[in-house]
Structure 1
Amino acid sequence: MAVDDGGPDKGSALPRVAAEKGSSDALPVSDGESGSPKKKTGEVVEGEVSAEATPAEAEEEIPPVGYFTLFRYANRKDALFIGLAAAGSIINGACLPVFTLVFGKMIDGFGYNILYPTNLQSTIHEYILYYLYIGLAGFAGACMQELFWTVSSVRQVNAVRARYFHSALRQDISYHEAKTTGGRLLQGLNEDCVTLQSAIGDRVGRTLFNLSQAFIGIIVAFIRGWDMTLVMLAVMPVLIVMGFLMSTLIARLTSKMNAAYADANALAQATLGNMRTVYAFNGEVRSLDTYTRTLDEPVRVGIRQGVYSGGIVGLTNMVAFSCYALALWYGSTRVIAGSMTGGEVLNVLFAALIGGFALGQAAPNLQYFQQGRAAGARVFAMMDAKAGIDAQAPGLEPASVEGAIVASGVHFSYPSRPDVPVLRGFDLEVKPGQTVALVGESGSGKSTVVGLLQRFYDPDAGSLELDGVDVRVLGLRWLRSQMGLVSQEPTLFATTIRENIRYGRPDASDADIEAASRAANAHRFVCALPMAYDTHVGEKGVQMSGGQKQRIAIARAILRDPRILLLDEATSALDAKSERVVQDALDRLMKGRTTVVIAHRLSTIRDADQIAVVKQGRVVERGTHDQLLQIANGAYSVLVAMQSGRRGPAR
């Protein structure tokens, strides 16, 4: 049906919109009409806090990327660091096999010169120098390995983090609403980046170290006694399997233990974050019992880890010493036959064992590379995602703004719930400098209009215009710079009052901040605090009262000096005293600005230039307070009557 444009009809003294007789499907009530279902982060039931959160949404499995793709942000300097780190790992790994070679020759030297003290002393001095050289090489190799793998991986992952965060900031609201369930974005920034850093850093170094040690050890063993080496290699697969099993099993059990402790930590965090509720319901004992029960699982995992580790280590030692016995028996037969010396036997024995153990230690690193490929796929998918509404995209930036807003036939459903229409042919006209209030039942779509004005979303149909220009044509950053938002639950950052206000205009001086604070009726309470403007507000402003947070948010909006002001139930959560103070500040802020007010308390919008009643996504009535009250059984009259406690329509 046709909606009045806000001016009186020629044949009627009152603007009137006939009640909509359309669909009666009830819209689900959303969290602040944002269209997104409320998310639970910790449920409090009679003083006991549950750490169980809403399950993360099922996400499409992303195939792992190729391993070398993980190095996509390595520059020339990183490539140099990687080369030096690889050389250091190889040198460090080679030291122990080379040591066995020198050790075997030293044993033979002692045997040859045992009856010649002068020669023996000279031999000792010679091998002392060899050991010093090996030590220096090991020192240099280890330093290069640890330093350059760490530096190169940190540099690359820092570049990934910066690009990941930049990509997250470029995405539109619908992307964040779909991805942040279960902390998906934060997991990518934290856990996935840590996994990625390990896969391109220290794990590569350890693998190269182990492979160098293994191959050089086996080569030395073959050179010094190939037949004895073959005898030892017959047993070596058992040692390799043992080493692999031990490393893999311990890694899995450690992961399980960390997960069990994570559950306990989540419960503790949820409990400590809701202490008022815990105290109110005398839930201290129950919370402690619940937390204690969550610690039982880490104990069970720890016992299993101890049993498995002890068994595998014991079995490995038994097999290793059996291998020693077999090797020494075979070596003794070769010594008796005169085909090998005692030093060569010891050299082959130690070099082959070192090589076998090193291979066993290298194998478990493969799982870290696989985890890194999977983490890299998730991180790079986020970084490569194209924003539906890109804040960086170019657009028109008019030199001035009048503040005229026109919504024509707007239809909209949230991307997360495309089958639930929120706006169904929404029409509204706001003239420059005019204050228009949107009222209606919860879930009618009022707050959705604010989101569309800021281009958090685009309409499915219809248009939204600012000064006659479709908002989709305007530069997004410029568009939002012309608007100031004060919402029901203002968002404060965990920093000082000064920095929270300065967020409205980063280049503002302290004098500008104080002036904005005075205009917002905040200066007096701020100065009464011990640290005044340098007072930290706590996480999400937890140290401030509702009225104080609201006034800080208003000061931030004043500092921004927007041409268009959006007030989304800015006083609905306040008590009467705080509401009066905040409303006074809002009245000053609204002067000379185009203002769209979403109000729950109708008493706060009686003086609005125009009041639009929204029902099931449409404007069904529009006019001033007095005009709308004169409509018999009108939607606005019913709302006023409900709030004033009268059963019949207001007059």
Structure 2
Amino acid sequence: MPVPAVPPAPSTAPPAASSPVSSTVPSGTSAGAKGEPKSLSGLRPFLRPYMVQIGMAALFLVLAAVTTLVFPLALRSLIDGGLVSTDKGAQTMALRDHFLELFGVAVALGLFSALRFYTVSWLGERVTADLRNAVYAHVLRQSPVFFESTQTGEVLSRLTADTTLVQTVVGSSLSMGLRNAVMGIGALAMLVWTNPYVMTQVLLILVLVVLPSMWFGRRVRKLSRASQDRVADSSAIAAEVLNAIPVVQSYTAEKREAERFDASTNAAFNTAIRRTKARSVLVAFIIIATSAALLWGLYQGTQAVLHGEITAGHLGQTVVYVIILASAAAVLGEVYGDLLRAAGATERLMELLHAVPAIVSPVRPVAAPVPPSGSAVSFDAVTFHYPSRPGTPALRDFSLSVAPGETVALVGSSGAGKSTVFQLLLRYYDPQSGQLLLDGVPLADLSLDHLRHRIGLVPQDAVIFSTSAFENIRYGRPEASADEVHAAARAAFAHDFLTALPEGYETFLGERGVRLSGGQRQRIAIARAMLKNPPLLLLDEATSALDAESERMVQAALETAMAGRTTIVIAHRLATVQKADRIIVLDHGAIVEQGTHAALVAQGGIYARLAALQFTA
């Protein structure tokens, strides 16, 4: 089922200092409108594709409500027509007919209610799935700026807990609310029609019930949003700690982390209890006030029977309509609370869905041909500050040209700007000044897909997904055949250890590849990049965390991967870059030295000192 189209977000990025989530509320949503029922209007694009199903649900809903409203009329006929007759034979026949009518009403009510339940439940499941898919896909397109200020656990909480609240409303509460609204209005109309004088008094009393209910509703609305935020805080803590469980256990911090999570869940509990108290008061007030008003009307009805103004059947009909109206008011009070919670959840989801990516593809991208022998890279007077560190330049007036097929190594101390070069080449960020070109085309003129398709990345910490070895390698090119996957594994010196696994290439590698060694994970990452076959290869400290034997294997795999393509290498271990065509030495975001290994050692500068320290050791 395709995900419904969502209105595109504006193309301008949010201010660097603000949070992407908190600063991207859709236009027209004021701060004072947070968590209001009208926030549910954000679901409109997800409901629009299913107008036929919505129409069917509405039809069954109305039919079920009308059938319920017919029941008191049949009851009145039973009392006045079947119990009043003095002829016993005629009375028996009349009772049989009236009971058959009541049973027919019950059958119709059961069928229409079942059809309504199925249709509405289908809508709730489908809309929630579409909403979850749309939010997740949109988050995947966010640049690293977004994740600098948004915790992964917060996003996961919105994708799970908040979408579950939306599902509850769309698939259940909203239907119950509409059904009881129809029945309540119908019952009220019948009561006014049959007892106009008495019900006019009741209506005036009901109007007075609405005003305090609105005040309670605002209180519940604020607490609902706060409760969801506290639950998200707990999810963020759990996601962070579980992803770092070896470090937590190595520092014997299990108790501290459990206490931190306990404090967070207690804060969520206390907020939820305050919300529940406010909602309980709201529900109790609505039920008591509404029941008092309706009982007053019922009392007036009994007086009318005693005075002979209406029949017993008329009174029975009135009693049932009063019960329907009272129960409808009680259900609507519950549904209103659910709507307030879902409104807060929808608002949080819409904030994610309307978060503006800091980096977007151009409207009319340039279709540059892929070079056969490696890409040309050019940095022209690039200056860049990370949004989280606007006062410290990561690169300063940085200029560098890399020829097709050339291997260039970037070295320097931590924070010199090496990784920033990769971040800008992948266009995770845009520089504040200067220009980057790939094969003579500015990066900003290429679509993000086309740009990143031309680049292969082997990170320092190889990323292994929770699937088979075969699928991990084919992640580089999903349409690749089995022979191509095996060829890439052989080129990366991964074939032998993969075939030795219990199920060979189909062996499940576990979360983050926990069943493999560091060198094995790195060789799978290299095979993935080789299968992609990009003209530009970026190697980020690919051997820094390996033992000597694994390093030799990975280094051999890297040399195979580098053949015939442009390669930029980041390395702290200078032994891995001695064969580079050119070594670039960075210091505080600027190039201070460049040349071959031998030439730089002869200069006696920064590189020579680093080399002396490493090679002497």
- How does the TM-score come out when normalised to structure 2? 0.81
SS at match of 1:112: coil
Gaps of 5+ in 2: 1-18
Gaps of 5+ in 1: 1-54, 647-651
Q: Verify the 8 A CA contact 1:229 1:352 in the aligned structure 2.
A: no
Aligned match for 2:421, one of 431, 442, 449: 449
Q: Residue in 2 aligned with 1:19? A: none
Q: Verify the 8 A CA contact 2:60 2:112 in the aligned structure 1.
A: yes
Task: Give the partner amino acid of 1:452.
Answer: L
Which structure has greater helix proportion? 2
Task: Give the partner amino acid of 2:23.
Answer: E
Change in CA separation of 1:497 and 1:367 when aligned onto 2, cut-off 3 Å: same
Superposed displacement of residue 424, structure 1: 0.9
Q: Work out whether 1:334 is the aligned partner of 2:298.
A: no
Deviates more, 1:218-227 or 1:150-159: 150-159
Q: Residue in 2 aligned with 1:637? A: 608
Q: Verify the 8 A CA contact 1:174 1:416 in the aligned structure 2.
A: no
Q: Residue in 1 aligned with 2:320? A: 350
Q: Residue in 2 aligned with 1:491? A: 463
* Count of residue pairs the alignment pairs up: 588
Q: Residue in 1 aligned with 2:525? A: 553
**How do 1:517-528 residues align onto structure 2 when only pairs under 5 Å count?**
517-528=489-500
**For residues 510-531 of structure 1, what are the alpha-carbon distances to aligned partners after superposition, in whole Å with 9 as ceiling and x for unaligned?**
1221221122121222222212
Task: Give the partner amino acid of 1:539.
Answer: E
Q: Residue in 2 aligned with 1:105? A: 77
| C-alpha distance in 2 between matches for 1:477 and 1:608 | 29
Task: Give the partner amino acid of 1:177.
Answer: F
Q: Residue in 1 aligned with 2:23? A: 59
Change in CA separation of 1:470 and 1:237 when aligned onto 2, cut-off 3 Å: closer
Change in CA separation of 1:583 and 1:284 when aligned onto 2, cut-off 3 Å: same
Superposed displacement of residue 493, structure 1: 2.0
Aligned match for 1:212, one of 177, 182, 206: 182
**For residues 354-406 of structure 1, what are the alpha-carbon distances to aligned partners after superposition, in whole Å with 9 as ceiling and x for unaligned?**
21331343245446556656655665563584763318853132253443333
| C-alpha distance in 1 between matches for 2:254 and 2:214 | 45
Aligned match for 1:70, one of 34, 43, 46: 43
Superposed displacement of residue 194, structure 1: 4.5
SS at match of 1:119: helix
Task: Give the partner amino acid of 1:510.
Answer: A
Superposed displacement of residue 119, structure 1: 1.8
Change in CA separation of 1:520 and 1:443 when aligned onto 2, cut-off 3 Å: same
Change in CA separation of 1:260 and 1:162 when aligned onto 2, cut-off 3 Å: closer
RMSD of aligned Cα (Å): 4.0
**For residues 235-255 of structure 1, what are the alpha-carbon distances to aligned partners after superposition, in whole Å with 9 as ceiling and x for unaligned?**
767988999999999999999
Q: Verify the 8 A CA contact 1:101 1:220 in the aligned structure 2.
A: no
| C-alpha distance in 2 between matches for 1:472 and 1:258 | 39
**For residues 594-649 of structure 1, what are the alpha-carbon distances to aligned partners after superposition, in whole Å with 9 as ceiling and x for unaligned?**
211100111111121211101111111111111111113x0111222333467xxx
Q: Residue in 1 aligned with 2:404? A: 432
Task: Give the partner amino acid of 1:593.
Answer: R
Change in CA separation of 1:412 and 1:308 when aligned onto 2, cut-off 3 Å: closer
Q: Verify the 8 A CA contact 1:335 1:342 in the aligned structure 2.
A: yes
Deviates more, 1:560-569 or 1:308-317: 308-317
**How do 1:185-204 residues align onto structure 2 when only pairs under 5 Å count?**
185-186=155-156, 189-191=159-161, 193-197=163-167, 200-204=170-174
| C-alpha distance in 1 between matches for 2:283 and 2:369 | 74
**How do 1:477-516 residues align onto structure 2 when only pairs under 5 Å count?**
477-516=449-488
SS at match of 2:83: helix
Aligned match for 1:143, one of 85, 108, 114: 114
Task: Give the partner amino acid of 1:70.
Answer: L
Change in CA separation of 1:432 and 1:111 when aligned onto 2, cut-off 3 Å: closer
| C-alpha distance in 1 between matches for 2:480 and 2:499 | 19
SS at match of 1:389: coil
Q: Verify the 8 A CA contact 1:412 1:424 in the aligned structure 2.
A: yes
**How do 1:519-538 residues align onto structure 2 when only pairs under 5 Å count?**
519-538=491-510
| C-alpha distance in 1 between matches for 2:502 and 2:73 | 72
Q: Verify the 8 A CA contact 2:372 2:535 in the aligned structure 1.
A: yes
Change in CA separation of 1:415 and 1:283 when aligned onto 2, cut-off 3 Å: closer
| C-alpha distance in 1 between matches for 2:39 and 2:269 | 38
Change in CA separation of 1:606 and 1:151 when aligned onto 2, cut-off 3 Å: same
Q: Residue in 2 aligned with 1:181? A: 151
Q: Verify the 8 A CA contact 1:438 1:598 in the aligned structure 2.
A: yes
Q: Verify the 8 A CA contact 1:242 1:360 in the aligned structure 2.
A: no
SS at match of 2:428: coil
Deviates more, 1:376-385 or 1:343-352: 376-385
Aligned match for 2:366, one of 395, 400, 421: 395
Q: Verify the 8 A CA contact 1:439 1:598 in the aligned structure 2.
A: yes
Rg: which structure is higher? 1
Q: Verify the 8 A CA contact 2:153 2:236 in the aligned structure 1.
A: no
Aligned match for 2:62, one of 87, 90, 93: 90
Q: Verify the 8 A CA contact 2:362 2:444 in the aligned structure 1.
A: no
Superposed displacement of residue 499, structure 1: 0.6
Task: Give the partner amino acid of 1:460.
Answer: Q
Task: Give the partner amino acid of 1:139.
Answer: G
Change in CA separation of 1:559 and 1:398 when aligned onto 2, cut-off 3 Å: same
**For residues 50-75 of structure 1, what are the alpha-carbon distances to aligned partners after superposition, in whole Å with 9 as ceiling and x for unaligned?**
xxxxx997535541677656323545
SS at match of 1:515: helix
**How do 1:155-304 residues align onto structure 2 when only pairs under 5 Å count?**
155-171=126-142, 173-177=143-147, 180-181=150-151, 183=153, 185-186=155-156, 189-191=159-161, 193-197=163-167, 200-230=170-200, 274-277=244-247, 279-281=249-251
Superposed displacement of residue 81, structure 1: 1.8
Q: Work out whether 1:133 is the aligned partner of 2:104.
A: yes
Q: Residue in 1 aligned with 2:537? A: 565
**For residues 430-469 of structure 1, what are the alpha-carbon distances to aligned partners after superposition, in whole Å with 9 as ceiling and x for unaligned?**
2332211110011111111122222333333333333444
**For residues 112-137 of structure 1, what are the alpha-carbon distances to aligned partners after superposition, in whole Å with 9 as ceiling and x for unaligned?**
13x43212221222222222222233
| C-alpha distance in 1 between matches for 2:135 and 2:162 | 11
Superposed displacement of residue 507, structure 1: 1.7
Greater length-normalized contact order (CA 8 Å, ≥ 6 residues apart): 1
Change in CA separation of 1:558 and 1:177 when aligned onto 2, cut-off 3 Å: same
**For residues 270-324 of structure 1, what are the alpha-carbon distances to aligned partners after superposition, in whole Å with 9 as ceiling and x for unaligned?**
6655554455455566666776777767887898899999999999888888778
Q: Residue in 1 aligned with 2:5? A: none
SS at match of 2:195: helix
Change in CA separation of 1:523 and 1:91 when aligned onto 2, cut-off 3 Å: same
Task: Give the partner amino acid of 2:366.
Answer: G
Superposed displacement of residue 472, structure 1: 3.5
Q: Residue in 1 aligned with 2:515? A: 543
Q: Residue in 2 aligned with 1:24? A: none
| C-alpha distance in 1 between matches for 2:474 and 2:122 | 36
Task: Give the partner amino acid of 1:215.
Answer: I
| C-alpha distance in 2 between matches for 1:422 and 1:310 | 55
| C-alpha distance in 1 between matches for 2:538 and 2:106 | 70
| C-alpha distance in 2 between matches for 1:375 and 1:351 | 35
Q: Verify the 8 A CA contact 2:42 2:350 in the aligned structure 1.
A: no
SS at match of 1:622: strand
Superposed displacement of residue 488, structure 1: 0.3
Change in CA separation of 1:413 and 1:297 when aligned onto 2, cut-off 3 Å: closer
Q: Tell me the percent identity.
A: 33
Q: Residue in 2 aligned with 1:50? A: none
SS at match of 1:204: helix
Task: Give the partner amino acid of 2:478.
Answer: P
| C-alpha distance in 1 between matches for 2:272 and 2:46 | 39
